[in-house]
Structure 1
Amino acid sequence: MLPLSLDQGMIDQIAHEFDLRAPNKEGLRQLIFHLTGTFDPTEPLVMDMATGSGKTYLMAAAVEYFRRQGMHNVMIVTPSLVVQNKTVQNFSYGSLRYVGGFPTPPEVVSPDSYEAWRGKQVGSPLEVATDPSMVFIFNVHQLVAPKKTHTSSTGTLDGQRTKIRTFQEDSGSLYEYLTELDDLIVIADESHLYGSKAKAFNQALKDLQPAATIGLTASTTDADNVIYHYPLYKAISDGYVKTPVLVYRKSGYTGKDAEERQLRDAMSLLRNKEAAYKEYRNDHPDVRQIQPALLVVCKNVEHATDIADLLRGPAYCNDTHAVLQVDNEHDNEATRRLLDNLDHEGSPIRVVVSVDKLKEGWDTKRIAVMCTLRAMASEVLTQQTMGRGLRLPFGNRTGNDRIDQLEILAHTSFEELLNDEDILQTFGLDGAVDDSTTATDILKDEAPIAGVDREGAVERGPIAPSTATTDDAGKEPRPALEPQSAEPQPPEPTVRSHGLEDDEEIEVATPATPIVVKINPDYAGTTFLFPSSTMQRSDSVFELKKIRNDDVKAAAKRVTDTGEVLHRKKLVVSEADNEIKTERVEDALVASDQVDKKEVAKELTSSVIKLGKLTQNQANLTQLTERIVPEFMKAADIDDWTEKAKVSALAELEQLIVDKLKAHASSLQTETTINPIELPIDQEFSLPVGEDILDLVGDDEQSEFKVRKYYGQWAKGLFPVASFDSWSGEYLLAMMLNYSEHIQWWKRLYRHEGASIAYSTRDNYYPDFVALDTDGTYWIIEGKAESGREDETVKKKREAASDLVTELISEPKFKDSTWGYLIAYETDVRTAQSWSDLKSMAQPVVRERYDD
């Protein structure tokens, strides 16, 4: 039995940290439940998870759960090099594909990198709770025993198999190390490929002698020990993936130009998707800037090459770089790089042409249209291939069918589809409907598609997005939808269809033109650097920027100047002894010698440096001379410095530094990194399509105010138009900034600009405004509801902003500027008569400038 316990509190915490969907959270609970019981460690506990439902996040959450319960070693077995490389990225901190949520990033060991394991071998063999997980990621081909154990070339498969078994002088044999672990948990990704029929692969997993084996797949068999089942139709119904829609022409595609016509239809569907995505991105600038793509599935390599050449031509994409062919003969490093970067902004790919190769491990959110050509009439589209198009491009359902549906363009006619007893298997839709659904049910449910009879289209799918445009947890915002009807609705079908008449044309949508807002002419060319920050766990040396001004002031208040004491004795003549003696009389208190203020500052600085426990670098020296010592002397209740006061000050400041050093050494620290962002990003921006500019409303016209609408004209705004999420917390604050004689200009901050401040290693927030006052101070301003005054998260944000203002003193790009931070609570905004009033109420954090 494994040393694991079922801890629901830990599951809840990890689910929150990894932002797990409800089915994945339940899957994690079921997995831990079964692992705490009796099982055969070499027989996989299989989790049947729909393609696109988030298996990778469940896998990562399980690895973290094991770590917190003392099991640090996990082997993830993948079916191919493609999946292996993707999985390495998922677990490698700093990768664009990294799965966030780990408080301590795992160490990754793969065929390309043994460093983490070797470091463990030469380090302490003892594991502690704070140690990271050691995640070994290999594809199953590399774990099969080599034919020739003396093979040394890692360029061959046998060479890779040999490498893992070869004894290294500095670390030993990795394979032997793995088999001797008593806590190795094996996670078999796409476990249906390692079943009993795949004898070599199946044996390779058993040879590892794991403490437990977990299988993840969307394709189970009756022989599998399935412990959790989350089918595709449930994922569709729950709104976690797109709704598949079969699109077909009444008579199918026939004749010599059948494929050309089908591809033209596919491109028309793609263009409509492109228009819908563009409109949505423009309306929601905070979301990922992702583009839709078309996947064309061909019969063989020769067929795929012909189709790719055709699609690059002027009648289709008219761009040689827009079409990517991926098959056994087009699988070089350049192709893999283009495929790997498909979701990156700026990818030139619009169409991917494949030979059903992209079955597992290709996690993209771009596929919006799929096309199976007539040449595949005898073939089927596997669920794994169809699953490449199921992922939601913006993370959640949008309420727009053009985005929330995957359109699968069939080559067959209506009659052929109707008579196809295996229609679900033919298009990879097995599992996408319940057992009672037939081909007739699917084909009679007509779904509207973009460009074809859009009149009367309805928003589909169960959707429950957040209404907030700013999310403290740093997640992508979920745009609000119109309220759903309160009347009971019948369940939506999980697979739909749309038939086209033979002569019907798919009309390509024309995107609407949005209103463009340009920067205020008075501020044309104005830019500034915003100190965006990130926070990481660190065991780095202590830095003086971590000492807050409040602590410096508290230490300074303990400085005393009690003066010098003169002990007095008088001379007494003793007649009896015939001698002169001394007799103690009352002490006399006299003023201590005066000391020059600059000399005190110099000695305070020198004493801290001479402690010997502080790293001597320019950043610490700047913090000491430009902030800590001046603030300390200013806060001390000393008008005229004396020798006695100086001694007291030296003792108090040294004690403050020593206490902070001890606290640092005994706790896990975080390191904040400043990432300057130049704002505004551009000198103009576009309003969401259909949005107009509303006239400003007076401060007594709250009933006229509309949330997230655009108002103008703002004379002192860098841009004359801005939108707001609240009345008193933002709109009235903007009014105050706009009409204050002490403000030069202000700018509304939007999430997509990236102006965020980290207040933990996982969490950041986005302030509402930056304003430049007439004294040259840049103010970071956040409007808050009154309830935030006692909120612990708000307090953490303020502390983080206070630390940020402090750190900017020693940041080269900010050393010549002054920054402040202010939380404007709604009551203060309504009560304050001016910007000066608001500052006095808010008790802001601001960099002090000290006189010599």
Structure 2
Amino acid sequence: MNRHVNAIAGRLSLRPPQRQSLEILDRITEVIPPRKVADAVAALEAIKAEFPTVTDFERDFPSLCFALATGVGKTRLMGAFITYLHLAHGINNFFVLAPNLTIYNKLIADFTPNTPKYVFKGIAEFSVETPEVITGDNYESRGALLNELLRCKINIFNISKINSEVRGGKSPRIKRLSEYIGESYFDYLAGLPDLVLLMDESHRYRASAGVRAINELKPVLGLELTATPFVETSRGAVPFKNVILDYPLGRAMADGFVKEPAVVTRKDFNPAGMSIEEIERLKLEDGVRLHEGVKVELETYARQTGNAIVKPFVLVIARDTTHAGQLMQFIQSDRFFGGRYAHKVIQVDSSKTGAEEDEMIERLLKVEHTEEPTEIVIHVNMLKEGWDVTNLYTIVPLRAANARTLIEQSIGRGLRLPYGKRTGVISVDRLNIVAHDKFQEIVEEANRPNSTIRLQQVIIAPEQFQQKTATVVSQSRLAAKLGFQPEQMTASTSVASGGEAPAFATPEEQKVARITYEVIRRLENQPGKLPSVTYLQNPEVRETVLREVAAQYRPQQLEMEGVSKPDLAAVVAKTTELVVQQTIDIPRILVVPKGEVRSGFKPFTLDLSKINYQAPSEELWVQHLRTNHLEIIGLGHGGIEESRLEDYIVGGLIDFDDIAYDDHADLLYDLAGQMTSHLLGYLSSDDARRVLRFHQREIARFVHAQMQAHYWEEAVDYEVVVSKGFTELKTSAFTASATEPPLDFRTSPTDKSNMAKYLFSGFQKCLYPVQKFQSDSERKMSVILERESLKWFKPAKGQFQIFYKRGADHAEYQPDFVAEAADTIYMLEPKAANQMTDEEVLAKRDAAVKWCRHASGHAGTYGGKPWKYLLIPHDAIAENMTLTGLERQFVTR
């Protein structure tokens, strides 16, 4: 493997299909070195011998297609291709073709440094000497400098302009004489010895006159990228003959690189007797109702995880411009939710010209921005390739079409994930297609045996739409008393109130209090000076805080009548007292090795009893490659032909972060040998090779999972480091009803099976005004803690840095309750009685007990309270129980 492949894949964080594409390019350059080819036929035969899916270059020069599903990252792959060819083969000249103005402008932005999606971010060589970007708009003026530029040059051109000029009988401008360089720019490029042609969305212009003109450039290599490797003709779809890698949408969904599409309908929906207009109105209204719920879920997730808030939008697909205009008028009228979306909708089609078109395009390009008001986009077949948004979550198709067309044309623009990966939260990872009248037809189409995708089904009862939700932000009572406000307030944000009045009456006092709190927060990182918040009551510590506050405080406009300077000492004293009262000491504990750490995997025998892969037939292989069936796409066609069968497994295993080839080579080949011996026990050598190519990633994951049980780690010694004596209470966020008030925690709701939807309040000792419970047992625990503890709370994600082993990963453990009593701090975990011996529950318990042991050790250094961990079965929790009684039965040491 070329060393550049590993380096580029790491620096650009390439996904597996992108990395596989780069590995293929690396092999291509070995088979046919990138230089002017005199004999394209011989080059084709050399490629076919190793990549049998390529039957024709379809050009006069070597040209190969990488078919990657929408949302996987074709532009980043282009950047990886250019980086590799420049670093590994010294190629300096690239010609990038775009199919339309939208993609042309997007490519220019993505290849321009200091832009959000810059494709070379992380490539050190290009940060020192940035590639020169030459466009279809500036190539003439830059021509005089071309020969002086020795560095990498990327030409970006729009094929549409060339097509129009060729069809009109005129020679493209690129072929006309340039006074700057003494020849046409086309001839200049054609004369270069190292020009590589990259074609973005190549299916859009593959057979056009413009591409035939561009083909005269005779580049050393052509690289095509598309999600649809076929050309639509009157006779149907004609597949490309030069596809060297095919990674379709179904595979991208299975691997979690895009959203999961779902078709949505109403419960018991029956269109009989309804007019087309009535059905459209219902779909529009339900789409927006669904959108409002998604908007809240996205904000809640962002606040819970500390990510940026994503503003979703609805895409409405109209039949034609007239229909789009009618929809626009309806949505802007009072008949559609009282006109609330009148200024939140745009119409995107060819009916707009001049200033209206400019405004339309500007709003469309900013639809991802949270400050841009657009939440509904109506379009008529204009939003195709190149419009890369990550915040499309609801699609309402109103165009008459068959199920397959609806699926293919609807989902393409909405598959990209806002955070770049699946989150595990259904509402954040799902794309909704509202198709009441086409629901069954779409489901049947998606369930066809040769369908490349599988759709989820979402059936919503009408009463669910009536339950308007909001994101409820629950700050600690301390934050509320000090006058803090949550960041990024939106129309969907509600701040929980526990009836807390601000602790300070005047703006100047509030300002001093906030400065005081920031000074105290900085002291978190000095556990030697401040091992506990109780030390804030120490006169010396309080004097130190006061001096720092006085140095930072700048009074504003004290000369105004009625404004007096606050008593700094009094405000600091009151603030520190509040912090002591409204905080439980949660230290930040790190366990770090002293000296060298050694780790590895012990030899073992694989359990292969369930491995019974069968090799696909050659006939089935060919058929599926032409029709894009999901089953065959996983075949290593386009992968490197390994000399040893074991190399397929080893090559898959070394992609895991916890496996270093140099340290584990013997074990890896031993395990790979066990697997290949098993396969050869019932398959021929050729069939075993094809199984390993087909299932390489799955087999590697299978072996890696078994390796985890045989992992070992040893260090000379470990030491516990306390980096913070206490930590700030993190803000919580919940999705809850926007109209119903929180319930009283003392009363059990009638629907206990759906506890997670309720918000509870009425607490006196809880450090937050509202809480959510996952079960009625948790609610009962809060009743006990209100009576028995001094203060308690349910920690937000990230409050504790406790991690436990879950397979190959280290997951974060978030305990259910923390409570401080007179002489103990408790970490409490109510759990269903039938889960008490669950492997993951026990792993969490062990990690938490170890943390409590270290926290108690730290508390012992200053006379603080010890920590104890209680794992409690749900059926042992009753309101008459006491903390000491629970401790006697369930404490884990």
TM (norm. structure 1) is 0.52
Q: Does 1:276 align with 2:297?
A: yes
Residue 277 of structure 1 deviates from its aligned partner by 1.1
Structure 2 match to 1:17: 11
Equivalent residue in structure 2 for 1:328, among 331, 341, 350? 350
Q: Aligned letter for 1:142?
A: K
Structure 2 match to 1:94: 114
Matches within 5 A, 1:220-619: 220-221=229-230, 222-249=239-266, 250-252=269-271, 254-255=274-275, 256-285=277-306, 287-314=307-334, 315-316=336-337, 318-330=340-352, 332-373=357-398, 375-376=400-401, 380-381=405-406, 383=408, 385-414=410-439, 416-417=441-442, 423-424=445-446, 435-436=449-450, 494-500=454-460, 506-516=465-475
Residue 87 of structure 1 deviates from its aligned partner by 0.9
The 3 A distance-change label for structure 1 pair 681 and 265 is closer
Residue 213 of structure 1 deviates from its aligned partner by 0.7
Residue 75 of structure 1 deviates from its aligned partner by 1.2
Q: Does 1:33 align with 2:53?
A: no
Q: Aligned letter for 1:12?
A: N
The 3 A distance-change label for structure 1 pair 65 and 318 is same
Structure 1 match to 2:203: 192
Q: Is the 8 A contact 1:515 1:687 kept in 2?
A: no
Residue 170 of structure 1 deviates from its aligned partner by 5.8
Alpha-carbon distance in structure 2 between the residues aligned to 1:167 and 1:715: 65
The 3 A distance-change label for structure 1 pair 123 and 390 is same
Structure 1 or 2, whichever has the larger Rg, is 1
Residue 232 of structure 1 deviates from its aligned partner by 1.0
Residue 150 of structure 1 deviates from its aligned partner by 11
SS, match of residue 65 in structure 1: helix
Matches within 5 A, 1:601-750: 716-718=516-518, 732=531, 740=541, 741-743=543-545
Alpha-carbon distance in structure 1 between the residues aligned to 2:96 and 2:257: 25
The 3 A distance-change label for structure 1 pair 788 and 246 is same
Q: Aligned letter for 2:228?
A: S
Q: Which runs of 5+ in 2 are unaligned?
A: 33-42, 44-56, 231-238, 500-512, 550-587, 597-718, 726-856, 860-893
The 3 A distance-change label for structure 1 pair 406 and 149 is closer
Structure 2 match to 1:174: 185
Q: Is the 8 A contact 2:195 2:221 kept in 1?
A: yes
The 3 A distance-change label for structure 1 pair 513 and 12 is same
Q: Does 1:215 align with 2:224?
A: yes
SS, match of residue 397 in structure 1: coil
Q: Aligned letter for 1:353?
A: I
Residue 114 of structure 1 deviates from its aligned partner by 3.1
Structure 2 match to 1:826: 721
Q: Is the 8 A contact 2:264 2:434 kept in 1?
A: yes
Q: Is the 8 A contact 1:31 1:227 kept in 2?
A: no
Q: Does 1:46 align with 2:65?
A: yes
Q: Is the 8 A contact 1:77 1:188 kept in 2?
A: yes
Alpha-carbon distance in structure 2 between the residues aligned to 1:342 and 1:296: 14
SS, match of residue 344 in structure 1: coil
SS, match of residue 514 in structure 1: strand
Residue 77 of structure 1 deviates from its aligned partner by 0.7
Q: Does 1:55 align with 2:66?
A: no
Alpha-carbon distance in structure 2 between the residues aligned to 1:390 and 1:65: 28
Q: Is the 8 A contact 2:140 2:185 kept in 1?
A: no
The 3 A distance-change label for structure 1 pair 263 and 213 is same
Q: Aligned letter for 1:85?
A: N
Residue 324 of structure 1 deviates from its aligned partner by 1.6
* 1:233-264 deviation per Cα after TM superposition (whole angstroms, max 9, x unaligned): 11111111111111124424832422111101
Residue 113 of structure 1 deviates from its aligned partner by 2.8
The 3 A distance-change label for structure 1 pair 416 and 242 is closer
Q: Aligned letter for 1:215?
A: E
Residue 682 of structure 1 deviates from its aligned partner by 9.6
Q: Is the 8 A contact 1:294 1:367 kept in 2?
A: yes
Structure 2 match to 1:109: 134
The 3 A distance-change label for structure 1 pair 519 and 204 is farther
Q: Is the 8 A contact 1:519 1:718 kept in 2?
A: no
SS, match of residue 28 in structure 1: helix
The 3 A distance-change label for structure 1 pair 150 and 216 is closer
What is the number of equivalent residue pairs in this alignment?
A: 507
Alpha-carbon distance in structure 1 between the residues aligned to 2:227 and 2:110: 19
* 1:508-555 deviation per Cα after TM superposition (whole angstroms, max 9, x unaligned): 441242224699799989xxxxxxxxxxxxxxxxxxxxxxxxxxxxxx
SS, match of residue 16 in structure 1: helix
Q: Is the 8 A contact 2:589 2:723 kept in 1?
A: no
Q: Which runs of 5+ in 1 are unaligned?
A: 1-5, 152-157, 425-432, 439-492, 526-678, 694-712, 748-782, 792-823, 834-852
SS, match of residue 473 in structure 2: coil
SS, match of residue 199 in structure 2: strand
* 1:485-516 deviation per Cα after TM superposition (whole angstroms, max 9, x unaligned): xxxxxxxx942112356x66634441242224
Q: Is the 8 A contact 1:300 1:355 kept in 2?
A: yes
Q: Aligned letter for 1:265?
A: D
Alpha-carbon distance in structure 2 between the residues aligned to 1:280 and 1:57: 27
Q: Does 1:84 align with 2:84?
A: no
The 3 A distance-change label for structure 1 pair 680 and 348 is closer
Alpha-carbon distance in structure 2 between the residues aligned to 1:294 and 1:389: 10
The 3 A distance-change label for structure 1 pair 505 and 177 is same
Q: Is the 8 A contact 1:520 1:719 kept in 2?
A: no
SS, match of residue 378 in structure 2: strand
Alpha-carbon distance in structure 1 between the residues aligned to 2:31 and 2:537: 66
The 3 A distance-change label for structure 1 pair 399 and 180 is same
Alpha-carbon distance in structure 2 between the residues aligned to 1:828 and 1:516: 24
Alpha-carbon distance in structure 2 between the residues aligned to 1:784 and 1:334: 54
Equivalent residue in structure 1 for 2:155, among 136, 152, 155? 136
The 3 A distance-change label for structure 1 pair 46 and 164 is same
SS, match of residue 388 in structure 1: helix
Q: Is the 8 A contact 1:78 1:189 kept in 2?
A: yes
